[in-house]
Structure 1
Amino acid sequence: MGKEAYGTPSRRDVIRAAAAGAAVTVAGSGAAEAAVPSATSGGGPRDRAALGLRLQGVQHFGLTVQDMERAFEFYTQVLGGTEVLRDGDFHGQAIHDTLLTDQEILAAEEGISPATIGVPDLAGGTQRLDVRFVHFGNVVIELLQYRDATQPSGTGHSFAEPRDHMSPAYPRSMHICFHIRDDVDPDKFIADLEAESARRGMTQVKANRVVTVRTEATRRAAPRSSNTNKIREGKSNGWTLIYCKGPEGEQLEFVQALDPIKRTFAEARRRHLDKTGR
């Protein structure tokens, strides 16, 4: 059956998928000290700190591409990056909802087919997601390709043409990923982020959920445990991810990388530094 929809978070496709990976070794961000009111109570000391103090800096930059092999060649052979890992054929309801909930809500509100605004059918498996990570010593580039299921992984073009829409499946779309500290509860972090952004009038800042929702009201009402997608098996074991729109509509991601995926990236960094003589 391949990497199809899963029933519980223990299934591999829970979305090893966005595998969203990147340098777990990225330097800290030196976040501002300004106090941020917590939206919820409880948690450890770090969970009550200002949002900026719960981050370790930028985790990776992601780029959705039309041609995976061409992009991979450029970033590894032309620019000299080091391959971390490649994974793919991701599909199923969980990965679809994690990455595309906001666009499904938009399509429902407009009464249009999600495909018309660049939403691939990962839920049904008509399209698949492939990812490759390239390490540059202090940052990782994630290459993503959303392709038709009939198209072999790593070949051909993306199922969608480059267009100026918000779906993360469009080629030339980029996202910025921030690294959540190991001792922070990521579910609470995103709840606090949404609350603080709303307090400032930044209503565009909304995180997707890992349960199926098609209205803004049901997204807000979803349980906190659905705020993050926790991968606990496969190559991306230890990865937790959140997809969220920024205040200008830009695509953001927040991840927490624990062992064993943390060790995978640390080893890739060592190999890259050895290769470049640093």
Structure 2
Amino acid sequence: METIPNDHGVDTARRDLLRTTGTAVLAGLTAATIPGALSAAPRAQAAATTNVPGSLGARLQGVQHFGLTVQNMDRAFEFYTEVLGGTVVMRDGDFHGDRIHNTLLTDEDIIARERGVNPRTRGIPDLRRGTQRLDVRFVQFDNVVIELLQYRDADQPMGRGHSFAEPREQMSPAFPRSMHICFYLRDDVDFNTFIRDLETESARRGMTQVKANRVITVATEHERRAAPIEANSHRITQGRSDGWSLIYCKGPEGEQLEFVQALGPVKRTFQEALQARQRPLADR
């Protein structure tokens, strides 16, 4: 039996809120995603052609959110709100029934049926009969929203406990279909100190999975922890990426995170690309 929020009242309000959030995200992209104020005339004129009237690109209004399926909703929610400082947009959940199951899982169901395997072995929950339920929480950052999703057994409390499926062990970013969440550091932040403080605060909360890579070669976890603080970020100083700093980091769920900072020439490159994209949008 389907729950009413999937198709009526609550879901309508949710859609309205997401539209509002999407508008805020687009505004945030103008002010925050690309570093600094936009002042230089765009050199990337070709970018505007992707937004010609009637094209698919012209029908979009930016990225609304990145989604992350988690094993432990409480732990992930604490990390993204209390450690990284995101603002709670809303919590919703207990979604189940035919419509939500089909919306999310039709393709996976077909594959499992064609291969004659138990859907659960492919990580497919049974939302249709309500054996499992879906809970979601949305967290707002300056320029994008992160959606945390948890698929849990029906007898588990909403938004708590563990996922019905075991987490994937192979999380290398080199695997095709792998995704990551990238956070942008402000210009005046010391990158290396930020990474040190992130690991310290996460460890204080028992989130021992939160580990950032190092730019020097280390062979053990002890060596990684003992690396000098200046090994916490990689700064590119030549080519098109001049001024770009980055490091990869695992989050509390084992998810792949990236932290970046854009200064100097690469900052201007992103500014001009955003300005080139915004010009045809303003003309509509």
- Higher helix residue share: 2
Larger Rg: 2
TM-score (norm 1): 0.48
Bigger relative contact order, structure 1 or 2 (CA pairs below 8 A, ≥6 apart): 1
